[in-house]
Amino acid sequence: MFIHLDVGWMAHPFPLSSFKISTQDQIDTIRGLGKQRVRWSPEKSDLPPEGLDPHPAPAAGPTLPGALPAETDAARAARLRREALQASRARGALAERQFSEATKACKLTTELVSQRPQEARDQAEALSRALVDKMLGDQEICIRLLTEAAGDKASVHAVNVTVVSLLMGRTFGLSEDDMLDLGVGALMHDIGKLELPERVRHREEHFTTAETQFYQEHVAHGVTIARKMGLKPGATLVIAQHHEHADGSGFPLKLNSDRMSTAARIVSLVNRYDNMCNPHVPSRALTPHEALSLLFAQGKNRYDTAILGAFIRMMGVYPPGSTVQLTDDRFALVMSVNSSRPLKPTVLVHDPKVPRDEALLLSLENEAHLGIRRSLKPQLLPPEALNYLAPRQRVAYYFEPHIEVEEAPA
């Protein structure tokens, strides 16, 4: 039976709000939600055999494939591309809705912090729980690039860091409790900035020593707030250590890797990555690929090798959202990671001969002679390619159950 849960996605533990029930566990969980009714879609459900169907299909309906006019190979390829793209965009839209709910919840939490810290904690934990619930289980989960990330800057940053950190935590096999702490800590990592004047909330190169000191104090403020909220030690540790580096070059305590919690090590890296991709001054933004390269080239020692390695495996060498030029000079946008072949992600290719809604979604793994020559900033794309690929100013990630995409012949 294909059902729709008409409640916010945070109110249930399923990855999607609309899905086909396949296990008794799912039914039990739905019962546990305490809902009087759920909506279902007969057309998407496995219905009992003929005769019981209350809506027999009209005779003229498209029934037999043989009845359809013969489709040329090219037309079929275009249709498949269109469908693949549409499906991908539909999944994207769903992810965007969930992301937007998360940023709203995050904003609400932040607003509660100063007046009602304990309520804020409950909110943060609920949000973390909702995200973790959707990631637990055996199903393969992959990272998804969002085309639109709704919400204010601070909330988008917090949710972005939380989503990626939790995905990292999942690959490290963190326990459920650790995952929850990681989620809360990541959501609240910058909460201390509430105590700072706007001017020093974002580190600038020209900061004086005093200003830098001011800025760095957001960590201490964060810990104080975490205590007031009554956060768990694991989550508080993330807030306390999210600016420490593995080589002891971070602040405030210049801890090294050994004295940092795994969760803090993860958030320290992911936070840096997100700040590079989405800086306070948008013109200084790096592409995801540039950010990753720089983290790797300059920060090989700053970050735990295992964590950096896992991060690269998860994000790929060319993380989703990177605009690239292929070895045949075409421009493309990286859509998803190929974890076994990091140099061969799936890309959306700009081809003027192909309409935008039938754009090639190409897995480079299948293209022996095609590779990525370079990554570049979106503003360096020629206007036609920019329109076609439409990369976003702000890079935001969410996640989705892994789905095998039918590969359209290129």
Partner 1 sequence: MSDRDVRAVWAVLVEGLLDAVWLVDAVTQRIVAANAAAGALLGTDAATLVGRTAAELSATPEDLAFWHEVAQGLDEAIVSESLVRRFNGSVVPVTRRVSRVESDGQAVYVVVFHDRSAHQATQDELEHRLAELRATLESTADGILVTDLAGAIRGFNRRFASLWNLPEELLTQRDDAAVQAWMRRSVVDVEDYERRLAAIQDATLLQTSDVLSLHSGKVIERVTLPQCSRGQPIGRVFSFRDITEKLAASQRIEELSQTDTLTGLPNRRLLADRVEFALAMAQRNGHSFALMVVNLDRFKHINDTFGLGFGDRVLLEVTERIKGCLRSLDTVARLGSDEFVLLVHKADAAGAEATARRVIHAMSRPFRLDGVEFTVTCSIGVALCPSDGDNLDELMRRADAAMHRVKELGRASFRFHQPQADVDARSQMQIDHAMRQALVSGHFRLHYQPQVELATGKVIGAEALIRWRDPVLGDVAPGEFIPVAEQSGFIIAIGDWVLSQAVAQAAEWRDAGWPMPVSINVSALQFQQADFIERVSSALRSANLPPHLLELELTESILIHDAEDALHRLKALEQLGVMMAIDDFGTGYSSLAYLKRFPIGRLKIDRSFIRNLPGDASDVAIVNAIVQLARAMQLRVIAEGVETEPQRQFLLDAGCHEFQGFLYSPALDVPAFESRLGRPGPPGQPAVRLVSG
For residue 356 the two structure tokens come to: 């935008």
Q: How far apart, in whole angstroms, are the C-alpha atoms of residue 183 and residue 253?
A: 23
Strand pairing report for 141-146 and 331-336: unpaired
Helix, strand, coil percentages, rounded to 5, for the chain: 50, 10, 40
> Cα–chain-centroid distance for residue 252?
29
Residue 377 is a binding residue for partner 1 (CB under 8 A): yes
Residue 42 is a binding residue for partner 1 (CB under 8 A): no
Please say which residue, 211 or 365, places its beta carbon nearer to partner 1: 365
User: What kind and span of H or E run contains 103?
Assistant: helix 73-113
Among the residue ranges 58-66, 75-83, 95-103, 380-388, the one whose residues contact partner 1 (CB under 8 A): 380-388
Residue 383 is a binding residue for partner 1 (CB under 8 A): yes
b/e 207-229 (16+ beta carbons within 10 angstroms → b): beeeeeebbbbbbebbbebbeeb
Contacting residue, 45, 118, 213, 379, with partner 1 by CB under 8 A: 379
Edge-first strand order for the sheet with 39-40 is: 18-20, 2-4, 39-40
Please say which residue, 342 or 401, places its beta carbon nearer to partner 1: 342
How many binding residues for partner 1 (CB under 8 A)?
Answer: 24
Among the residue ranges 151-159, 168-176, 235-243, 375-383, the one whose residues contact partner 1 (CB under 8 A): 375-383
Nearest distance in Å: CB 387, partner 1: 5
Please say which residue, 8 or 342, places its beta carbon nearer to partner 1: 342
Q: How far apart, in whole angstroms, are the C-alpha atoms of residue 31 and residue 290?
A: 48
Three-state SS at 332: strand
Among the residue ranges 2-10, 78-86, 121-129, 369-377, the one whose residues contact partner 1 (CB under 8 A): 369-377
Q: How far apart, in whole angstroms, are the C-alpha atoms of residue 240 and residue 333?
A: 36
Q: How far is CA 347 from CA 207, 223, 228, 326, 379, in A?
A: 40, 42, 46, 10, 18
Nearest distance in Å: CB 311, partner 1: 9
Residue 205 is a binding residue for partner 1 (CB under 8 A): no
Please say which residue, 134 or 344, places its beta carbon nearer to partner 1: 344
Nearest distance in Å: CB 31, partner 1: 43
Over the Cα atoms of the chain, what is R_g? 23
Among the residue ranges 62-70, 110-118, 195-203, 292-300, the one whose residues contact partner 1 (CB under 8 A): 292-300
Contacting residue, 140, 374, 403, 409, with partner 1 by CB under 8 A: 374
Contacting residue, 11, 33, 306, 343, with partner 1 by CB under 8 A: 343
Residue 317 is a binding residue for partner 1 (CB under 8 A): yes
Among the residue ranges 23-31, 71-79, 135-143, 372-380, the one whose residues contact partner 1 (CB under 8 A): 372-380
* Residues in contact with 152: Cβ distance below 8 Å, sequence separation at least 6, in sequence order: 103, 107
Contacting residue, 117, 252, 299, 342, with partner 1 by CB under 8 A: 342
Which residues contact partner 1 (rule: CB under 8 A)? 283, 292-293, 296-298, 312, 317-318, 327, 341-343, 371-375, 377, 379-380, 383, 387, 390
